[in-house]
A = this chain, B = another copy of it.
Amino acid sequence: MTTLLLSPELLAGDEAAVEGDAYRHLFRARRLAVGERLRVVDGDGAARWAEVAAVDRRRGLLRLLDPAPSGEPGYRLELLVAVPKKERASWLVEKATELGVVAVRFVETERGPRSLGPGTRERLRRIAGSAVEQCGRARVPEVTGVHAWSEVPGLLVGFAGRWVLDTGAGGGGWGDERGDAGAVLVGPEGGWSEAEAAQLSALGCRPVGLGERVLRDETAAVVAAAVLLVPPVAAPSPRG
């Protein structure tokens, strides 16, 4: 099923015109025809069914119908991550979006880079929007930062689940404290400083491990999201 991201104003109406890139995607690449159905979403969590009412050489007209499933996970998970390299930031955002994460927030750390490149945040938001259409969600995750380290306590307000990835922690250790929202903190390649680790501990962040191998930071972030958001295997997982 095709999903199209519209503005919240358009999604609230009875019909919506589609031009430009979205027109080319729906009516040239995917060749949707009059009468065909798709799913339209507003990026804020709302989704409706829609039907192609008319198509001409430059625009299409959609008739907006009943609410549709949001495709959003029941759990609100945010990733707070040290600033990665550019290419790695792109796929971190893409994969986190596919998995259902609601925000990726880049955080300044003692041993990690302090800034994203110019235009990076806008590029990452476009990537998140495309991934929402691709995977059938309704909410575009927030991409924010680089946040000062001093903002971390504020960013964690309201989260019952608070985890910090720790390569020394072996496997597991996620605990039962989860609530309906949580955040996973992912440090830089050089690891957390002692001061950072102490502050995260004081904030109630639980150290968790992802197994014996050392995952790259962006891999670790995506795997943590998978562990928390993807339905688990029934039997105990083989470890190693």
Residue numbers of A with Cβ under 8 A of B are: 69, 71-75, 91, 95, 98-100, 134-137, 170-176, 178, 180, 209-216, 219, 222-223, 226-240
What's the least CB distance linking A176 to chain B, in Å? 5
Contact partners of A219 in chain B: CB under 8 A:
95, 98-99
Known: A174-B235, A180-B238, A211-B229. 14 other contacts (CB 8 A): A69-B212, A71-B213, A73-B213, A74-B239, A95-B222, A99-B223, A100-B213, A134-B214, A170-B231, A176-B235, A178-B235, A222-B222, A226-B226, A229-B238
6 cross-chain pairs, A with B, having the tightest CB-CB distances, nearest first: A171-B231, A73-B240, A75-B238, A74-B240, A174-B233, A172-B231
Across the interface, which residues of B come within 8 angstroms of A222, CB to CB?
95, 222
Contact of A228 among B74, B171, B233 (CB under 8 A): B233
The answer to whether A73 and B234 have CB atoms under 8 Å apart is: no
In whole angstroms, how far apart are the Cα atoms of A230 and B175 in the complex?
A: 16
A88 and chain B: residue at smallest CB distance:
B91
| A227: B residues at CB distance < 8 A | 226, 230, 232-233, 237
* Given A226-B223, A226-B227: A176 touches B234 (CB 8 Å cut-off): yes
| Residue in contact with A233 in the complex, picked from B69, B211, B216, B232, CB distance below 8 Å | B232
CB <8 Å contact, B211 and A100: yes
Q: Would you mind naming 14 contact pairs between A and B with Cβ atoms under 8 Å apart? A: A69-B212, A73-B213, A73-B238, A95-B219, A98-B214, A135-B213, A174-B233, A174-B234, A223-B230, A226-B226, A227-B230, A229-B237, A229-B238, A229-B240
Closest B residue, CB atoms, query A209: B231
Q: Is the CB of B231 within 8 A of A73?
A: no
Please measure, in the bound complex, the distance between the C-alpha atom of A69 and the C-alpha atom of B224, giving whole angstroms: 24
Please name all residues of chain B whose beta carbon is closer than 8 Å to the beta carbon of A176 when the two chains form the complex.
234-235
A233 to B236, CA, bound (A): 10
* Complex contacts, A95 vs chain B, CB 8 Å: 219, 222
